[in-house]
Homo-oligomer: A and B are copies of this chain.
């Protein structure tokens, strides 16, 4: 099991969340702000099976709108190992 933390621009968060849910990933959304300009961002926590990490990242990639040149990054993804997972 892995935990993907995806930090997205607010304008992409809707599309990315929907695309992940359609692909049956479980998504939790957290409001965040980024860096120097305090631009609004959304942090998604996505719990995925080890074998599904690449699929989830591909879904995020495809659901992000193209940025104009010079606008900077779309999304930053951190994948963490999960030592134990349980649903109560």
Integer count of this chain's copies in the complex: 3
Given contacts A76-B87, A78-B3, contact A21 B45 (CB under 8 A): no
| Interface size in chain A (residues, C-beta < 8 A) | 43
Alpha-carbon gap, A48 to B27, bound state (A): 24
Q: A27-B34, A47-B78, A79-B85 are in contact. List 16 more A-B contacts (CB 8 A).
A: A1-B78, A2-B83, A3-B80, A7-B45, A21-B35, A26-B35, A31-B31, A73-B87, A74-B88, A75-B87, A76-B86, A77-B84, A77-B87, A77-B88, A79-B82, A80-B83
Which B-chain residue is minimally distant from A20 (CB atoms)?
Answer: B35
A81 touches B83 (CB 8 A): yes
A interface, over-half SS: strand
Chain A contact residues, CB within 8 Å of chain B? 1-3, 5, 7, 21, 26-36, 38, 41, 43, 45, 47, 53, 57, 60-61, 64, 73-88
